[in-house]
Structure 1
């Protein structure tokens, strides 16, 4: 009996030997696969895909860095709301000045890219977008009048506290919904204009592959990326900050709705009044959105809050989602730029991040 069991055991061992060898071989291959430098697992986050010219280029890693922190200067006579709106006006001006036809060399493209991308190196651009929308919301005279009536009833301090703690409150006042829609149309129209610029430079990334200067490989990606990360956002233009600080206050003389509209339109020329009027809001503006912050800021402006309540004003301007969106655009731009070797690729980076992503950030304020 014992001999029979010994024989069966020996047969089983011999039968399993090939299987064990196969498993060992599979494990060895799998270990080699994991260590192979040519094999990468799919990233969890979406990666930027540069337009292909039939040639491959190896990207460089970029370490995330914090936004450039610079002193924030408020020009004499201006307030924090108007000054932040002027920051957005500066970004809009640089976007509007972009011209594909004037770019005929790699250095010219680098300069155009840096001029727009520098605005991303501070989260105050996100605050500027909200401040700009608030300036438009403040053009609704019925809303401004209603805010001042409520101020007389419950007192300035109580009203400011309510605006801070209940972001959606201001939109419930008479004229509040109209003020919200005015801001939403202005931001949507500007976002479409920025997106048009983005589409133009994205197409150029393909068209320029026919040009020698755009196909010339360079090895200066690291230098360009370091320069991009160190760019300082421009200071707000004093005249623009003053013009936007006067809304809806009458410190510079009585102003009608038309005068306010002209002042804002002169500061930001990305979209025409006809384009703003033509925007159709397909869905209701969601509650507790950045648009609600803009309406609350317009109410605060009607009380003179941006002049003596800087902390309250900045708190209302700082929408976490919008700040995160702008910061994401900055990091994506740095990673995209670091991966480029040829100028036409940099056109794609410009289109995709400091233009396209910011346009998306602005469009999302409504939804």
Structure 2
């Protein structure tokens, strides 16, 4: 009877975590960003109105929420690493859950440094982030090519409402069928073997039903300047694995606060808006989108380099 009661309690806890998990909530901002990227990778840009819409898409994401969503995605990807998740659970078995939680509260590097299996999880996260950076750079190349084209000179641009639309707050939600695929718990996806699975190198393309080749499974190295960001992802993931991401509110809030990434994204958003405010031709608009809408933000979020 005690076993049955314990199993029932675990099921109830898992259902509650599935509904209110803070990582799932934060992820939505990054998912909205990636769905915009998917839309722009293949969208027709036949006139100035379509270019204005692309400009608005690039400028409408809040840097703070985008940073938190990016960290959440990395954390949830790490939580799909069997070696590392089992390593965290082995630490709980050997040292006890209270001791592991104390370490997670005290040391942001503990989750990546101490449990076995961190290398597998690191490669998984870096591969996922490299795939996302490649998508951003692909858009930058696309709009740069549009800016170099000469057939936009006859497009009629609207400038009267541009300032207002580029600064207007947006309230958007994801479709229920999309949200349903953004609720992974530890070890419920298989990105190590399926590139289109959550955390895989082509997950966002698969989510948007977009055809793209699976990238080769290259080894990646962490860019040292962004090691703190990876530590934050691992801490968030470890809190989820031990079932404490809802109760450890202070630590989760701290882990979600990545000032260098947020400031970098905020600066590029400002640069994009300023760039768009002084352009005179659609070609120049396209260059603004390419550089400050996607290429520079890609550098902000780049934590992986080829090994």
Normalising by the smaller structure, the TM-score range is: 0.7 to 0.9
- Which residue number corresponds to residue 94 of structure 1? 36
- Which residue number corresponds to residue 316 of structure 1? 255
Residues 149 and 355 of structure 1: CA distance in aligned 2, closer, same or farther (over 3 Å): same
Alignment map for 1:38-49 (pairs within 5 Å): none
Whether contact under 8 Å (2:83, 2:120) holds in the other structure is: no
Once residues 355 and 152 of structure 1 are traced to their aligned partners in structure 2, the CA distance between those partners, rounded to angstroms, is 44
- Which residue number corresponds to residue 109 of structure 1? 51
- Which residue number corresponds to residue 204 of structure 2? 268
Residues 237 and 310 of structure 1: CA distance in aligned 2, closer, same or farther (over 3 Å): farther
Residues 287 and 212 of structure 1: CA distance in aligned 2, closer, same or farther (over 3 Å): closer
* Structure 2 stretches lacking a partner, 5+ long: 1-16
- Which residue number corresponds to residue 117 of structure 2? 175
Q: What is the deviation of 1:306?
A: 2.7
Once residues 361 and 104 of structure 1 are traced to their aligned partners in structure 2, the CA distance between those partners, rounded to angstroms, is 30
Secondary structure of residue in 2 paired with 1:307: coil
Across the two proteins, how many residue pairs are aligned to each other? 282
Alignment map for 1:207-218 (pairs within 5 Å): 207=149, 209-214=150-155, 216=156
| 2:217 aligned residue (277, 283, 287) | 277
Once residues 92 and 201 of structure 1 are traced to their aligned partners in structure 2, the CA distance between those partners, rounded to angstroms, is 17
| Superposed CA offset, 1:134-159 (max 9, x none) | 11111111211121222234443442
Secondary structure of residue in 1 paired with 2:40: coil
| Superposed CA offset, 1:279-328 (max 9, x none) | x4256756842112112222111012233334422321221111111111
Q: What is the deviation of 1:239?
A: 4.9
Secondary structure of residue in 2 paired with 1:305: coil
Q: In the alignment, does 2:302 pair up with 1:302?
A: no
| 1:345 aligned residue (284, 287, 303) | 284
Q: What is the deviation of 1:196?
A: 1.3
Whether contact under 8 Å (1:88, 1:125) holds in the other structure is: yes
Whether contact under 8 Å (1:135, 1:264) holds in the other structure is: yes
- Which residue number corresponds to residue 247 of structure 1? 185
| Superposed CA offset, 1:85-115 (max 9, x none) | 2321221111111157611111111112212
| 1:234 aligned residue (137, 148, 172) | 172
Whether contact under 8 Å (1:92, 1:269) holds in the other structure is: no
Once residues 99 and 140 of structure 1 are traced to their aligned partners in structure 2, the CA distance between those partners, rounded to angstroms, is 29
* Structure 1 stretches lacking a partner, 5+ long: 1-74, 250-254
Once residues 203 and 160 of structure 1 are traced to their aligned partners in structure 2, the CA distance between those partners, rounded to angstroms, is 51
- Which residue number corresponds to residue 51 of structure 1? none
Q: What's the Cα RMSD here?
A: 3.1
Whether contact under 8 Å (1:90, 1:237) holds in the other structure is: no
- Which residue number corresponds to residue 130 of structure 1? 71
